[in-house]
Amino acid sequence: MRRSNVIDRLETLTIRAGDLTAPLTVCGPGSSSLDAAWELLNHGEMPVWGSVLMERQSAGRGRMGRIWHSPAGHVYGALRLPAAPPFDGPGASLALAYFMTLALESMGWDLKIKWPNDLIYQGGKVGGLLLESRARGLVAGVGLNLRQAPLGDWVGEREAGSPPPAALPFEGGPVKLWPLLVKELILLYSEKFPGLTLTDLTPELEKRLCWLGRLVAVDRPASEPSAPEAGLTGHIIGLDSDGQLLLNNVSGRYRLWSGTVRLIS
């Protein structure tokens, strides 16, 4: 058993999904599930659909360099994805978010997607995704709050118009939920949507988009045409075929590649 400041390996399980099997490494506390996944991948122990579940993280990371508040009792997972459609382009995190909503719906929860990678349940943020691509593979970090959302000073520091923290009402704990979730993701990819691109998924994905038709502000936008430095306001009208957010503004229509979206009204 290898020990490091990244991996405190507790046990290795096998997830079975149809004809496919994938290893799950359950870890004690560590820096982040993504760090553990990359170490396993670099040692040849992280095949496609292999995953990691960490008890808690001391340096969990989110978009824009944010730190993910990571006490024990919640899902801190990392999953190696196939570098193939619909995960082969800039909309990969959006495609995974869509699969996540379908998988969680099969367990009884109706979730929405706050573009590009947040998961919303009953108006609150229950989770988020962060994809990292390197020469050796594509890995997704997945965080999900269970039972009760973690609280702290960071809650008051959220931007106005951001969803409040929320949690999925699941009593079984992360070690029970994560294998079920990964199994559903594998089956969705291999049996229900084999070979489909993000463009194929966009019409259904758009139906799960949070704040569709609502007035929003977008901070730090990267867009076409180029957005003003102060950011954008406008109404969300949908998604482009490659996963860009479409926003109607008084100046015209914008296609957004990135940015932080907040609700105005």
How does pLDDT run across 210-235, given as a tens digit for each residue? Answer: 999 999 999 999 999 999 888 999 99
Which of 261, 204, 256, 201 is CA-nearest to residue 225?
A: 256
Rg (CA), the chain: 18
Residue type, 105: E
Instruction: Name the nearest CA neighbour of 103 among 15, 199, 29, 213.
Output: 15
Residue 69 above 90 pLDDT? no
Domain with residues 215-263, CATH architecture: Roll (2.30)
Which amino acid makes up residue 244? Q
Beta partners for residue 219, in sequence order:
260
The domain limits of the chain are 9-207, 215-263
Question: 3-52: per-residue pLDDT in tens?
Answer: 455 688 999 999 999 999 999 999 999 999 999 999 999 999 999 999 99
CATH code of the domain occupying 9-207: 3.30.930.10
User: Which residue is associated with the tokens 């100046």?
Assistant: 251
41 to each of 13, 77, 90, 201, how far by Cα in Å? 16, 14, 22, 29
| Predicted model pTM | 0.92
Alpha-helix runs per DSSP H in the chain: 33-42, 92-105, 153-156, 174-187, 198-207
Averaged confidence pLDDT in the chain: 91
The answer on pLDDT for 158 being more than 70 is no
pLDDT of residue 68: 60
β-strands 137-144, 75-81: how paired? antiparallel
Q: State how far the Cα of 177 lies from the Cα of 248, in Å rounded to an integer.
A: 39
Q: Do 9-207 and 215-263 share a fold?
A: no
Q: Bigger pLDDT: 200 or 69? A: 200
- The share of the chain scoring above pLDDT 90, in percent, equals 82
